[in-house]
């Protein structure tokens, strides 16, 4: 029986490791998700910057159109000059041209200012684009690393399952069935140490006599509270 208990202890260790590897594998998508936030932010910043630039370019086109209109107006005003008969009218007309030209200069200034702004915005947009590339690269690295981990865990899992099969062959079927039943009932922990008269599965006290018998009797013992198989080191 001591031998069977040794096998159960080994089986429990394998089963616990299998559960932990499976959890590791299941956690990988969550792990990847955690690392995508900076990329999402970079993409959002890029879109915002792109919108800003589009807005500025639209404004610039409008201003350029206004410049064009005002140039036409000036052109027409100048053409009309030759039709003017009186001196007074002539001076008023010149003033009108002058005023319109001033308006045009102001508009041209606006266009120049916008052009500078657009240059700056383009630079910022390029930086935002680079940031996206950097974040993508970083995320790829992380994914590669995690994929490697996943593959390792899967390989380990295959090995553990093989080892498990070998072990199970050596355990009497009725004891194996009971172990599996206990494993299910106890959330994956069917074999535990008894220490200082306490079951390390449910942390309840073990009757002193049973505690002694675990050590002295050559048979399997189960915790009276939780049903787990007990062993003493
Ligand atoms: Zn117990």
Task: List strand residue ranges (DSSP E) for the chain, in order.
Answer: 191-195, 198-199, 221-222, 229-231
Report how far residue 141's alpha carbon sits from residue 132's, in angstroms, rounded to the nearest whole number. Answer: 14
Cα of 213 to ligand 1 centre, how many Å?
A: 16
Q: Which residues are 230's β-sheet partners?
A: 192, 221
The list of the chain residues with pLDDT below 70 reads none
Per-residue tokens: 14: 């394998």
Cα(17) to ligand 1 centroid in Å equals 21
Closest-CA residue to 74 (of 59, 93, 53, 51): 93
Distance 65 CA to ligand 1 centre (A): 86
Distance from Cα 27 to the centre of ligand 1, integer Å: 30
Residues in the 5 Å CB sphere of ion ligand 1: 199, 201-202, 223, 225-226
Whole-number Å distance, alpha carbon 186 to ligand 1 midpoint, is 9
Given this model, what pLDDT does residue 168 score?
Answer: 97
Range(s) within the chain of domains with CATH label 1.10.287.1490: 35-171
Q: What number does CATH give the domain 35-171?
A: 1.10.287.1490
| Distance separating alpha carbons of residues 178 and 13, to the nearest angstrom | 17
Q: How far is the CA of 208 from the centre of ligand 1 (A)?
A: 14
pLDDT tens digit sequence for 96-106: 999 999 999 99
**Residue 222 CA, ligand 1 centroid: distance in Å:** 8
Instruction: Identify the DSSP state of 196.
Output: T
pLDDT of residue 2: 84
CA of 223 to the centre of ligand 1 (A): 5
Cα-only R_g, the chain: 41
pLDDT of residue 188: 96
pLDDT at 154: 96
How far, in Å, CA of 30 to CA of 168, rounded?
A: 34
Distance from Cα 74 to the centre of ligand 1, integer Å: 99
The token duo for 198 is 């306490």
Q: Rounded to the nearest 5°, which phi and psi values hold at 58?
A: -65, -45
Q: How far is the CA of 73 from the centre of ligand 1 (A)?
A: 97
Cα 226 to averaged position of ligand 1 atoms, centre (Å)? 4
Residues 6+ apart with CB under 8 A from 162: none
d(CA 163, ligand 1 centre) in Å: 27
- Cα distance between residue 211 and residue 230, in whole Å: 9
What is the Å distance from ligand 1's center to 24 Cα? 28
């Amino acid at each position: 029986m001591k031998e069977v208990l040794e096998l159960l202890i080994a089986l429990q260790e394998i089963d616990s490791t299998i559960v932990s590897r499976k959890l590791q594998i299941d956690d990988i998508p969550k792990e990847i998700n955690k690392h995508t936030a900076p990329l999402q932010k970079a993409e959002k910043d890029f879109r915002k910057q792109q919108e800003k630039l589009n807005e500025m370019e639209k404004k610039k086109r409008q201003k350029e159109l206004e410049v064009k209109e005002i140039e036409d107006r000036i052109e027409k005003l100048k053409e009309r000059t030759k039709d003017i008969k009186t001196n007074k009218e002539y001076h008023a007309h010149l003033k009108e041209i002058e005023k319109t030209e001033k308006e045009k200069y102001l508009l041209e200034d606006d266009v120049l200012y916008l052009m500078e702004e657009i240059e700056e915005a383009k630079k910022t947009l390029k930086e935002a684009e680079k940031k996206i590339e950097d974040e993508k690269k970083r995320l790829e690295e992380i994914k590669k690393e995690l994929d490697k981990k996943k593959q390792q865990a899967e390989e380990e899992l295959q090995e553990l399952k093989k080892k498990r099969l070998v072990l199970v062959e050596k355990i009497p079927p009725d004891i194996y069935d009971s172990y599996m039943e206990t494993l299910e009932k106890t959330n994956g922990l069917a074999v535990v140490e008894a220490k200082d008269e306490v079951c390390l599965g449910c942390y309840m006290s073990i009757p002193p006599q049973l505690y002694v018998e675990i050590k002295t009797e050559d048979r399997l013992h189960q915790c009276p509270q939780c049903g787990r198989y007990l062993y003493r080191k």
